[in-house]
Amino acid sequence: MTRHGHECVFCRIARGEAEASLVHGDDLVTAFLDINPVTPGHVLVVPRRHVASLGELEDPEAARLMLVGRFVLGALRGGAVRCEGVNLFLADGEAAGQEVSHVHLHVFPRFAGDGFALHGDWSRFPPRAELDALAARLRATLP
Ligand code: 5GP
Ligand code: ZN
């Protein structure tokens, strides 16, 4: 994938050059069905601009990404597909599971027994002092 997204499949979809089943399009973002859905109705919302990381988006693009994510959530909950709940998921960086280096917000329906699971070590409850110290370090770097 080039820096400017010439080979990027999501850029090609956003430009209408690659096939996709579109569910939304506006000046900043486009949304389409994932070709390899976790559950039926799995949508990807992507900025039109080729940007790899959520952190590199302009604020209006990031805001629109979430707004359209919410619209899609509403549509999924509206009855078109089996939907007892919805997950929004965004992998930022290879270590986080990002496979396509063009920002994409996953929005997919959930239902009992759908087989989806996020694995991790959820066993630890750190002491408050440790949490407070870490929160302070993060606060210091937030805009
Ligand atoms: P990631 O693992 O990067 O968070 O998710 C990438 C997602 O993009 C995967 O769910 C994958 O199925 C989807 N995807 C990859 N290539 C294409 C494509 O050409 N068209 C569509 N619609 N989805 C794609
Ligand atoms: Zn791209």
Domain regions of the chain by residue span = 9-141
Q: What is the pTM of this model?
A: 0.95
Choose one of 1, 7, 8, 9 to mutate for the ligand 1 pocket test, by most ligand atoms within 8 angstroms of C-beta: 9
Specify the CATH class of 9-141 in words: alpha beta
47-55: long-range contacts, CB 8 A cutoff, minimum separation 24: 47/102, 47/103, 48/14, 50/3, 50/4, 50/5, 50/8, 50/10, 50/11, 50/102, 51/102, 51/103, 52/101, 52/102, 52/103, 53/92, 53/93, 53/103, 54/90, 54/92, 54/103, 55/92
pLDDT tens for the chain, 143 residues long, are 455 556 999 999 999 999 999 999 999 999 999 999 999 999 999 999 999 999 999 999 999 999 999 999 999 999 999 999 999 999 999 999 999 999 999 999 999 999 999 899 999 999 999 999 999 999 999 99
* Whole-number Å distance between alpha carbons of 112 and 122: 21
Alpha-carbon span 90 to 106, nearest angstrom:
6
The Å distance, Cα 27 to ligand 1 centre, comes to: 21
* Catalytic residue (choose from 42, 50, 104, 119): 104
Residue nearest to atom 20 of ligand 1 (CA): 35
Q: Supply the pLDDT for residue 1.
A: 46
Ligand in nearest proximity to the CA of 2: 2
